[in-house]
Amino acid sequence: MDQPRRRVSHSVWIALAVVTAVSGWFLLLGGDVVSTIRESDRSSREYVADQRDQAEGVPMVLPVTLPSGYDSASNYGYIDLNAPDEPGEPDDTPAHADAREVGFTPTEGVQARGGLPAVQLCVEYAGPKPEAACHASPHAIKRRHGRTIVTFYAASTSGQDLSGWKSVELTTDLAKVTWLH
């Protein structure tokens, strides 16, 4: 004789549904946590130090505080004027920075009219150069910091108001940069 089939109780089905839902939410939120870890916080001193350490040469000069309407940097990079156009064989030679660039996007984003511009900060050594690495613009602000020239220029077409950048204090010491944590 056949044994009668046992029915699974409602409480087991409910428990299974709860476990499935919790697992799904954990995986969904876990993915966000993992992607957040991978994307690194661009406002952390560790991230900025890692960006700085990718190349020797011109020091990274940053504002101690940011003008009103800006709260952090959006990108960091360096320019190597002697880098080959085509990537070649990797070597052990450290990268060389002829210039450093840091981008700042307004807190409210770049507006089509009347808003603050995206600003690019470019640092290069002062002195005669056959080829300047930093962007030249009639609206750019150039400031001397130690042995470097720091150029601020509007990197967006929305506006050219750079007045907030004229008097920011500059430093190479990441511990003094108030907008980093």
pLDDT score of 71: 92
How far apart, in whole angstroms, are the C-alpha atoms of residue 72 and residue 65? 10
Choose among 114, 99, 116: nearest CA to 156.
Answer: 116
How far apart, in whole angstroms, are the C-alpha atoms of residue 142 and residue 162? 11
pLDDT digits 0-9 by tens, 31-74: 544 444 445 688 999 999 999 999 999 999 999 999 999 999 99
pLDDT score of 84: 72
Strands (E), 61-116: 62-63, 73-79, 95-97, 99-104
Alpha helices in 2-160 (DSSP H): 10-39, 45-52
> Which amino acid appears at position 111 of this protein?
Q
Tell the residue number behind the tokens 């220029």, with chain if given. 153
Choose among 160, 99, 171: nearest CA to 135.
Answer: 99
Cα separations in angstroms, 57 against 34, 93, 100, 110, 157: 33, 13, 9, 32, 31
pLDDT digits (tens), the chain, 181 positions: 566 666 656 554 454 444 454 554 455 555 544 444 445 688 999 999 999 999 999 999 999 999 999 999 999 999 998 877 666 666 667 789 999 999 999 998 887 777 899 999 999 999 876 567 888 788 899 999 999 999 999 998 877 889 999 999 999 999 999 999 9
pLDDT score of 37: 46
pLDDT score of 42: 87
Tell the residue number behind the tokens 């750079």, with chain if given. 162
pLDDT score of 113: 75
Is-contact 141 151, C-beta < 8 A?
yes
Is-contact 145 112, C-beta < 8 A?
no
